[in-house]
């Protein structure tokens, strides 16, 4: 068993900045998704920030990164900086999500102005 969500994701998807550890465990994507589903916001953010420290990098699949941000935002819906971070990630992955990214940015601005 992996000690952290980050370790589990690194073993399954690799890491652009560190070598993938030899852990000897069988890796199945659905096990990582289950772990992600019930992870707390701090664990998810630690994984995103360690494996994808810049918006344009990392080996996490786009769908997995989008799901991770969605789960974090469900836990922290009123965090303007996090809303913007999620929006930036969406903009980097194609125009399909531009409307959602714009809405996230607008929500962040509204939270900051108290609107």
Burial letters 37-62, b for 16+ CB under 10 A, else e = eebeeebbbebbebbbeeeeebbbee
Q: Is the pLDDT of residue 92 over 90?
A: no
Helix (H) or strand (E) holding 46: helix 41-51
Model confidence over 13-43: pLDDT tens digits? 988 888 777 787 777 899 999 999 999 999 9
Q: Is the pTM of the predicted complex or chain greater than 0.85?
A: yes
Confidence at residue 42, expressed as pLDDT on a 0 to 100 scale: 98
CB 104 within 8 A of CB 86: yes
Rg (CA), the chain: 15
């Amino acid at each position: 068993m992996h000690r952290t969500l980050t370790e589990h994701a690194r073993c399954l998807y690799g890491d652009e900045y560190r070598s993938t550890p030899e852990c000897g465990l069988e890796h199945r994507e659905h096990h990582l998704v289950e772990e992600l589903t019930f992870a707390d916001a701090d664990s998810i953010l630690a994984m995103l920030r360690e494996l994808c420290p810049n918006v344009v990098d990392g080996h996490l699949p786009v769908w997995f990164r989008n799901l991770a941000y969605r789960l974090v935002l469900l836990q922290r819906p009123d965090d303007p900086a996090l809303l913007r971070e999620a929006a930036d990630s969406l903009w980097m992955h194609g125009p399909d999500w531009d409307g959602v990214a714009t809405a996230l940015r607008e929500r962040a601005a509204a939270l900051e102005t108290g609107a």
